[in-house]
Copies of this chain bind each other. A is one copy, B any other.
Amino acid sequence: MVKSELMKYSCPLGKAMSALGSKWKPIIVLVIKDRKLRFGELAVRINVISRKVLTDQLREMQTDGLIIREEFKELPPRVEYSLTEKGLALLPILYQLEEWETKYHVYDPQKEKDCKMIMEEKKIKKTVV
């Protein structure tokens, strides 16, 4: 363990952010919500994420106790993800973050334009959350 990792263990917020602070985890929590979702459904709903990264993130979240992974030994295989109690407890906080962002949002027409452009270019029909 090096100095740079110290924060992860030295304060509650540091620990919280290390479980939640990655690029995709909050999104994943919000997308799963109170349902069970299969891997493929997750991949479709968050279609700007690659399957490898999605897998990685799900594994870490499982380790951190945020989600439950149920594997059904069928053919074709089926895996369902759902939130643990800990993960569910995160939902209201994430909603508040959304509200916060919406309330203080500064509208940037250029960014919106860029966003539209790239979505067409990449043939992305529907985006996250």
Contact = CB atoms under 8 A, between A and B. Distances in A.
A27 interface: yes
Contact of A128 (B14, B85, B124): B14
Interface stretch (A33-41, A75-83, A92-100): A92-100
B23 A7 contact: yes
Contact of A101 (B13, B97, B105): B13
Interface residues on A, range: 35 or more
Contact of A89 (B26, B100, B122): B100
Interface of A: 1-4, 6-7, 9-17, 19-23, 26-27, 30, 48, 65, 85-86, 89-90, 92-94, 96-98, 100-106, 111-112, 114-115, 117-119, 122, 124, 127-129
